[in-house]
Each structure stands twice: as C-alpha cells, then as structure tokens.
C-alpha cells in the first residue's frame, strides 16, 4: 500500500512539474515556475518535502516552519509543498527518493538513513547525553560537520538536527533498577544496535513492526516499548501501559535533509536562504518539543500513567552497560565518529 501511495504521489508531483515547466518555459530542480528571460526576474521553484509523521507532531512543525521561512526569505520565489503521513513513501523510500532527486526535502529520524549511511549508527549509541541541552550543543558543534560529510557522500545535504526529546521506556511493571529489566520483553525497531543495548541491560528485546505494537501490548506479547513522549501520546500507548520510565537512553533526533541534486542546482542565494531557514526552523522545532512536554505528561497522567525517574546511580550503571554497544558500533563504523561523539558530549557537560 505504501509503495502504491508513493507511486501515485510521485506521479502527481512529476505531472505537476511537467505542466508548470511547459507553461513557464523553465527547467531545473523541483518545479521551476518562473523564467529569467529579462535578466532581472529570479526563477521560482516549488519543492516537495516528505515525512512519515502526521500533522500534530514536532516533525511536521519543523517542516512547516522551514517552508514558511524559506518562502519569506525568497519573497515567495520558493514554495515548499508538505507531504505528511507517508504520502511519498516509507522513511526508507523517501531517503532513496531524495538521493535520486525525486523528492527535494525530507524530515525524519536518523534510523532509516543508516541503511544508506552506515556511520549514522553513531546515533544509536545509548546513554551518551545526560540531558537534552548537552545533546543540542553537541549536534550544533564540530560534530555536525563530521557527520555532514557522510550525507554529502550519499548524495544528500544535511541541513540541521532538531529533536523530540529522549526515547523513554513504557512498561506494565515498575523499573527502578537493572534487576527490574531482567527478562522484560521490550519492543524495539529491527536495529541490531538497539537489540545489543537492551540485551546488555538484561532485557528481552523483541523486534516488532510499529503497527503491531499496540495490539502486542494489549495481548501481552510484549511487556514494554520505548519512544519519546510525543509518540507515546500520539499512538495512545499509555492506554496499555502503567508506567513511563524516564530512561532517556537515546535522543530522538529529527534530521532535515535535502536532495543533493536539488541543493546544488539552485542559485547560491537560494542555498543561503535554505541554510538560514533550516537553522531557524531547527530552533523553533526544539522550542516546540520542550513546550509540548508538559502537555504530554498531563495527558498520560490523566490516563492513570505513573511517570518514574531513574536514580543517578542506576543511570550510571546503564551507561556502563551501554559500553558493550559502543564497541559493537565502533567495530562496524570505525572509531572516529564514535569517539568524536563521546568526546563532544563530555566537553559539553
């Protein structure tokens, strides 16, 4: 179904491109809707931006703000058409489409990008950041440039990282120590690094398609799952879980990426506008993520969920256990990025 929807959506986008280019006499990346025949008028473009998330999410707000700012900065010469809810395909399919130039922009987590940029497994490293402020300092610092070149090599342009806060654990038993994790059936993504982490903690990680998680919890096939507050609330996982445990193990990073073809084929002043819009939209998205936390907490608590913090000593134990996962990732992608992230986190604390 997703492939069918993607084919139809991309077909419509392509048809729109052909019609508008035919009418304007223009050609180029995206939909060029204006010419430059008199040497003065700047070309206009309509770009596509895909995401797998629905409208009421920080992901959508990030994309929406980026489009608004880009239109303002180019005096309406660039229009960004948003396609939420996987209209242009799954996360993985949208990365492929951006690499080939079929989609101009994508906002998504880094997890599906690992299929094409193995070094992004560095974002699977657990218990690296003590809080979201440190994480944001790191992602805005020199480490950003270290990782951006990996996107360049894949035909993509990294424009910025926002986030939805940390991924946290939900369960039907209290988790206050590592002993409480023993044997806990935790739903994870089909990601070997995530599996390694939960195995190291003594849990029983269970890969499962996201669409099956709610029923899996309801039927007792799994005991727990992990996601940021935004996802826990939007998917109503709180209806099947008694506790939200603030493990804060992995930052739920949101990347804004562009097709390398799109970015490199437009005028330099438009590239500058894209960079500026991405920077401002990133800050706005982070503010929205922080502002929405209290509301999400209230929704969960109103539904009888108890929210638990993890004692510092236990968090320290979790970090020690995570080092086995670091070694796995280091063996797969090399030491440079792993050490760069760890050192940057320490320096920012």
Average the pLDDT over each of 51-55, 284-288, 327-331 and give the range with the smallest value: 51-55
pLDDT beyond 80 at 181: yes
Residues 114, 109: Cα–Cα separation, whole Å: 10
The pLDDT, as a whole number, for residue 8 is 47
Residue 25's pLDDT band (cuts 50, 70, 90): very low
Joined together, the tokens standing for residue 296 give: 């999400």
Quick: pLDDT tens for 287-317: 999 999 999 999 999 999 999 999 999 999 9
* pLDDT computed for residue 39 by the predictor: 54
Which residues fall within 8 angstroms of residue 239, CB to CB, at 6 or more apart? 214, 303
pLDDT band at 56 (very low <50, low <70, confident <90, very high): confident
Q: How far separated are the first and last CA of the chain, in Å rounded?
A: 46
Q: Look over the chain and give the mean of its residue pLDDT values, rounded to a whole number.
A: 90
Which residues lie below 8 Å from residue 12, measured CB to CB, with a gap of 6+?
Answer: none
pLDDT tier, 35 (very low <50, low <70, confident <90, very high otherwise): very low
pLDDT of residue 30: 62
Residues 6+ away with beta carbon under 8 Å from 266: 28, 29, 30, 45
How many residues would you count in the chain? 349
For residue 1, what pLDDT is reported? 45
Residue 34 has pLDDT above 60, yes or no: no
Cα–Cα dist 216/240, whole Å? 10
Q: Is 148 exposed, middle or buried (0-12, 13-18, 19+ CB in 10 A)?
A: middle
CB contact at 8 A, 305 and 244: yes
Q: What integer pLDDT is reported at residue 54 of this predicted model? A: 87
In this prediction, residue 32 has a pLDDT band, given cuts at 50, 70 and 90, of low
233, pLDDT greater than 90 = yes
Alpha carbons 158 and 150: distance in angstroms, whole number? 9
The answer for 30, left when phi > 0, alpha when psi is -120 to 50, beta otherwise, is: left
Averaged pLDDT for residues 275-294: 97
CA 280 to chain centre: 17
**Confidence tier at 334 by pLDDT (50, 70, 90):** very high
CATH of 2-348 given 1.10.3720.10, 3.30.750.24, 3.40.190.170, 3.40.50.10190: 3.40.190.170
Q: Please determine, for residue 36, whether its predicted confidence score (pLDDT) is greater than 60.
A: no
Q: Is the pLDDT of residue 123 over 90?
A: yes
pLDDT band at 62 (very low <50, low <70, confident <90, very high): very high
Strand partners, 166: 251
Between residues 328 and 28, the one the model is more confident about: 328
């Amino acid at each position: 179904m997703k492939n069918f929807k993607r084919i139809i959506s991309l077909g419509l986008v392509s048809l729109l491109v052909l019609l508008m280019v035919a009418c304007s006499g223009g050609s180029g990346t995206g939909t060029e809707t204006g010419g430059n025949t008199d040497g003065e008028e700047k070309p206009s473009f309509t770009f596509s931006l895909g995401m797998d998330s629905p409208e009421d999410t920080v992901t959508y707000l990030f994309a929406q703000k980026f489009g608004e700012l880009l239109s303002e900065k180019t005096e309406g010469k660039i229009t960004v058409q948003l396609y939420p809810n996987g209209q242009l395909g799954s996360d993985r399919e949208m990365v492929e489409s951006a690499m080939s130039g079929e989609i101009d922009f994508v906002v998504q987590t880094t997890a599906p990008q690992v299929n094409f940029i193995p070094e992004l497994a560095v974002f699977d490293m657990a218990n690296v950041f003590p809080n979201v402020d440190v994480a944001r300092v790191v992602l805005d610092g020199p480490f950003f440039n270290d990782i951006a070149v990996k996107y360049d090599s894949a035909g993509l342009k990294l424009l910025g990282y926002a986030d939805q806060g940390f991924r946290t654990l939900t369960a039907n038993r209290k988790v206050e120590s590592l002993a409480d994790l023993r044997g806990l059936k935790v739903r994870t993504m089909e990601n070997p690094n995530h599996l390694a982490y939960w195995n190291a903690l003594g849990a029983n990680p269970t890969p499962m398609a996201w669409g099956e998680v709610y029923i899996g919890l309801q039927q007792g096939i799994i005991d727990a799952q992990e996601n940021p507050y935004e996802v826990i609330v939007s998917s109503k996982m709180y209806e099947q879980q008694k506790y939200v445990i603030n493990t804060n193990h992995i930052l739920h990073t949101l990347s804004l990426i562009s097709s390398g073809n799109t970015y490199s084929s437009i005028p330099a002043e438009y590239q500058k506008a894209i960079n500026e819009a991405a920077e401002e939209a990133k800050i706005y998205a982070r503010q929205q993520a922080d502002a929405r936390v209290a509301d999400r907490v209230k929704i969960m608590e109103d539904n009888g969920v108890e929210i638990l913090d993890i004692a510092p000593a236990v968090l320290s134990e979790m970090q020690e256990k995570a080092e086995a996962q670091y070694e796995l990732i280091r063996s797969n992608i090399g030491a440079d990025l792993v050490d760069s992230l760890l050192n940057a986190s320490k320096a920012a604390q």
